[in-house]
């Protein structure tokens, strides 16, 4: 394991390089190690484990069974792979209309929860008794540790740069030639003015590269390999709701919002409205004259839910006063919205988690491990 630039790095060749040790990359490393212990494997991560800026650390970590039929198998497999990490707590899906499995809210919700909603707007509830919560960060750490114990190498604070055709003016094996890829690993360090700089660069030759870099993954493929994919990135914010929750409090879902019990309160998880344009960088704005770091779509999603989830209209909602107050995360937005992997050329694969990684991400990482094991 190489954690910082002071540790000299000598290896020049790997069978497999995984770029990004978020939840998808770490799970892939673990599954691949188990399937093919004969392949040398390097997991390269730009930050720490898990990266404070990655999607993993802010993932809601909610598994539930409400997935379309074509995703059911992957969701069930993910639940098996989550194993003991999943704490069952149930999910209450509050609805305006009666459906096949709904019951009146007054029969299901205790007085505390009933006080948080307007039963006139959301009179029905469907209970998902198999739903549960977990910490995506802990799980990722565990997967990376297992992979390392099983013989994988890990390099932190290193930014991988892909090269499809040439590196420093030298022609390389072209994608499609069946050859190996050369990857530049920029080892990062921090100056005493807190700037992240490249200390030095090492090049490795790799037979297979998996881009598991989260939101920047598609751009990495495009810039380095010239391969354009339909996938994008989006900036999601997850405001906090400071009303009491315990470890047994169920997850609440209503009007497109998920309220995940966490650290004695709730994390409010809005849907991802749309992919953001390339180069979009969130900046704080002003709302009724007060500086806020809340993006418009997050505000819209919360306000849409207020009539039914009246607790959101109380004093517990913390939307912050500046961009730094609002937790946010860049998410991969896979075309089709579900975790996915694809082969980009003879040597490169792309693995994306995204908004629904909680539900099927582990099964998709396992599928890619099996596909790589067979190559
Ligand atoms: P996912 O859910 O897909 O795993 P994350 O954002 O949690 O998404 O993980 C992606 C990881 O990839 C992050 O930890 C990020 O620091 C890392 N990463 C992104 N770009 C690079 C890069 N060029 N080199 C190395 N690591 C990268």
The ipTM (two decimal places) reads 0.99
Atom of ligand 1 nearest to the CA of 20: 12
Average pLDDT, the chain: 91
According to the model, what pLDDT value does residue 293 have? 74
CA angle 325, 329, 330 (to 5 degrees): 140
According to the model, what pLDDT value does residue 296 have? 83
194 near 200, Cβ under 8 Å? Answer: no
Confidence of residue 264 (pLDDT cuts 50, 70, 90): very high
Q: How does pLDDT run across 302-329, given as a tens digit for each residue?
A: 999 999 999 999 999 987 665 556 677 8
Closest alpha carbon to 233 in 58, 54, 70, 75: 54
Return the CATH class of domain 91-128+239-326.
Answer: alpha beta
Report the half-sphere exposure of 325 (CA within 13 A, side-chain side): 14
- pLDDT tops 70 at residue 139: yes
Beta carbon of 216 within 6 Å of any ligand 1 atom: yes
According to the model, what pLDDT value does residue 179 have? 73
According to the model, what pLDDT value does residue 248 have? 85
Which CATH topology does 1-90+131-234+329-375 take?
FAD/NAD(P)-binding domain (3.50.50)
pLDDT over 70 percentage in the chain: 92
b/e code 102-122 from CB counts within 10 Å (16+ = b):
beebeebbeeebeebbbbebb
Beta carbon of 214 within 6 Å of any ligand 1 atom: yes
Q: How far is the CA of 100 from the centre of ligand 1 (A)?
A: 41
272 near 333, Cβ under 8 Å? Answer: yes
pLDDT over 90 percentage in the chain: 78
* Residue extents of the structural domains in the chain: 1-90+131-234+329-375, 91-128+239-326
Please indicate whether the domains covering 1-90+131-234+329-375 and 91-128+239-326 agree at the CATH topology level: no
Beta carbon of 44 within 6 Å of any ligand 1 atom: yes
Q: How does pLDDT run across 163-208, given as a tens digit for each residue?
A: 875 555 555 555 444 578 999 999 999 999 989 999 999 999 999 9
Beta strands 257-262 and 251-254 are antiparallel
CA angle 69, 70, 73 (to 5 degrees): 85
Helix (H) or strand (E) holding 80: helix 72-82
Beta carbon of 356 within 6 Å of any ligand 1 atom: no
Task: Tell me the C-alpha distance between 33 and 50, whole Å.
Answer: 19
Residues 6+ positions from 337 with CB-CB distance below 8 Å: 354, 355, 356
Q: How far is the CA of 147 from the centre of ligand 1 (A)?
A: 17
Beta carbon of 19 within 6 Å of any ligand 1 atom: yes
> Residue 48: what are its φ and ψ, rounded to 5°?
-100, -160
Confidence of residue 50 (pLDDT cuts 50, 70, 90): confident
Provide the CA 149 distance to its chain's centre, in angstroms: 24
Task: Tell me the C-alpha distance between 129 and 73, whole Å.
Answer: 18
Give this prediction's pTM.
Answer: 0.94
Provide the CA 314 distance to its chain's centre, in angstroms: 30
């Amino acid at each position: 394991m190489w954690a910082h630039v002071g540790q000299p790095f000598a290896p020049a060749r790997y069978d497999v390089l995984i770029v990004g040790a978020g939840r998808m990359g770490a799970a892939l490393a673990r599954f691949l190690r188990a399937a093919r212990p004969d392949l040398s494997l390097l997991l390269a991560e730009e930050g720490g484990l898990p990266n404070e800026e990655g999607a993993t650390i802010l993932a809601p970590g909610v598994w539930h069974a409400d997935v379309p039929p074509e995703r059911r198998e992957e969701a069930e497999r993910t639940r098996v792979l989550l194993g003991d990490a999943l704490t069952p707590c149930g999910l209450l899906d509050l609805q305006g209309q009666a459906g096949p499995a709904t019951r009146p809210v007054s029969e299901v919700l205790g007085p505390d929860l009933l006080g948080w909603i307007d039963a006139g707007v959301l009179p029905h509830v469907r209970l998902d008794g198999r739903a549960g919560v977990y910490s995506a960060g802990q799980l990722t750490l565990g997967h990376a540790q297992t992979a390392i114990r099983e013989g994988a190498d890990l390099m932190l604070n290193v930014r991988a740069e892909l090269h499809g055709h040439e590196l420093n003016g030298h022609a390389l094996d072209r994608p499609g030639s069946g050859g190996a890829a050369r990857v530049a690993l920029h080892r990062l360090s921090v100056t005493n003015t807190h700037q992240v700089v490249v200390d030095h660069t090492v090049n490795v030759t790799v037979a297979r590269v998996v881009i598991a870099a989260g939101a920047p993954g598609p751009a990495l493929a495009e810039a380095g390999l010239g391969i354009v994919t339909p996938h994008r990135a989006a900036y999601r914010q997850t405001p906090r709701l400071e009303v009491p929750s315990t470890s047994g409090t169920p997850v609440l879902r209503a009007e497109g919002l998920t309220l995940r019990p966490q650290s004695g309160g709730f994390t409010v998880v809005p849907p991802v409205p749309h992919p953001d344009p390339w180069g979009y960088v969130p900046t704080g704005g002003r709302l009724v004259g007060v500086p806020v770091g809340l993006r418009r779509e997050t505000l819209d999603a919360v306000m849409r839910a207020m009539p039914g989830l009246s607790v959101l209209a109380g004093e517990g909602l913390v939307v912050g006063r500046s961009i730094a107050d609002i937790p946010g995360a860049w998410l991969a937005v896979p075309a089709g919205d579900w975790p996915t992997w694809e082969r980009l050329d003879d040597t490169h694969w792309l693995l994306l988690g995204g908004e629904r990684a909680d539900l099927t991400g582990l099964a998709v990482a396992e599928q890619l491990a099996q596909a790589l094991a067979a190559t």
